[in-house]
Amino acid sequence: MFKVVFLAGPTAVGKTEYAIRLAEDLNGEIISADSMQIYRYMDIGSAKPTADERRRVKHWLVDEIDPKSPFNVSSYQQLAKKYINDVHMRAKLPIVCGGTGLYFNSLLYEMDFAAPEGDEGYRKKLLEKYDTPEKLFERLRSLDSSAAKEDDKNNLKRIARYIERLEKGEARLAGFADIKRKNKDYEPLFICLCMDRKKLYERINRRVDMMMAAGLPDEVKKLREMGFKPSDIAMKGIGYKELMEGRPQDEAAEEIKKATRHYAKRQIIWFRRYGDDIKYFDVDTDGYDKVLAWVKEKL
């Protein structure tokens, strides 16, 4: 069991900068927990650390996957665990930094992705067989009533996946009762950066304008020329999907701002679930020095 810094927070709050400074001050390396920065060619829209920043501190899991190749939490978990161990073995401090909540879960908890891998064809057939949300939901209830939660009644994607797992042999779905079984490999120093909501939303709006000015439309154009289509999963990323649709730039920019604000809000809500396991720092009222001091104290 060794110490690992986990640095979370909503998009645009300033995680990248804090992570880099921590890595410099504490002899660390950064393992990204970001589902978009992991893809190559998607630089501006995913707000990747700059080449200069990556020269200052070694980053893992940034720019590592081709947007064409399939990637998911399970793959992330494998790779991230490997890198965390590598960094630790070299006597450096692993700093996991990003905004993808599920990826954090895959490291913080004993999430087991062993058995049935997702089979899109299988799920498609389920959706044909149970062709209304009600029927699909009923099927899930008959297999595992505790898994059939009201919040998911119209969440076809998720219900289909749950049914798939149950039909393929899982007696009941893990993850409802025992998701809180903590991973014993690491002792997490879990930080969440926060900021006044209004300020964050304004920051997001400004950042989107900067991305547009920095050439996001061209980046998307290149991706299209490389053969990527709106249906590709990596192209569902905010900023990419809106521009892939080919709408006027100013209109797309507004949509991107809105989607990013919604995303930030979902992240904030996600991180709340960790309760007392997470230490909050307000970037405006606390600042970097308090974060550094807190980590030093815990190390």
Yes or no: say if 147 and 172 are a contact pair by the CB < 8 Å rule. yes
Among 88, 153, 207, 224, binds RNA (CB under 7 A): 153
Task: Decide if residue 254 touches RNA (CB under 7 A).
Answer: no
Choose the binding region for RNA from 32-40, 54-62, 81-89, 186-194 (rule: CB under 7 A): 32-40
299 binding RNA? (CB under 7 A) = no
Give the SS3 label for residue 174: coil
The binder of RNA chosen from 26, 57, 79, 102 (CB under 7 A): 102
67 counts as binding RNA under rule CB under 7 A: no
Classify each residue of 170-188 as buried b or exposed e, where b means 16 or more C-beta atoms within 10 Å of its C-beta. beebeeeeeeeeebeebeb
* Residue 151 is a binding residue for RNA (CB under 7 A): yes
**Which residue type sits at 165?**
R
With respect to RNA, which residue has the nearer C-beta, 59 or 165? 165
Name the residue nearer to RNA (CB basis): 93 or 260. Answer: 260
Name the one range near RNA by CB under 7 A: 95-103, 134-142, 220-228, 283-291: 95-103
**42-44-48-51 Cα dihedral, nearest 10 degrees:** 100
Residues 187-206 interacting with RNA (rule: CB under 7 A)? 197, 201
Cα–chain center distance at 265: 13
96 closest CA partner among 50, 45, 137, 61: 61
Q: 8-27: which residues touch RNA (CB under 7 A)?
A: 11
Please say which residue, 230 or 279, places its beta carbon nearer to RNA. 230
113 binds RNA (CB under 7 A): yes
Q: Which of 261, 281, 283, 291 binds RNA (CB under 7 A)?
A: 261
How far, in Å, are 62, 82, 191, 204, 271 from residue 37 at the CA level? Answer: 5, 18, 20, 17, 20
Task: Kindly tell me which residue out of 26, 53, 57, 73 binds RNA, with binding defined by CB under 7 A.
Answer: 73
Cα separation of the two ends of the chain: 13
Residue whose C-alpha is closest to residue 10's, from 195, 216, 244: 195
Distance of alpha carbon 61 from alpha carbon 84, whole angstroms: 11
List contacts with RNA (CB under 7 A). Answer: 11, 34-37, 45-47, 71-74, 99-103, 105, 111-118, 120, 149-158, 161, 165, 174-176, 178-179, 197, 201, 233, 236-239, 258-263, 265-270, 272-273
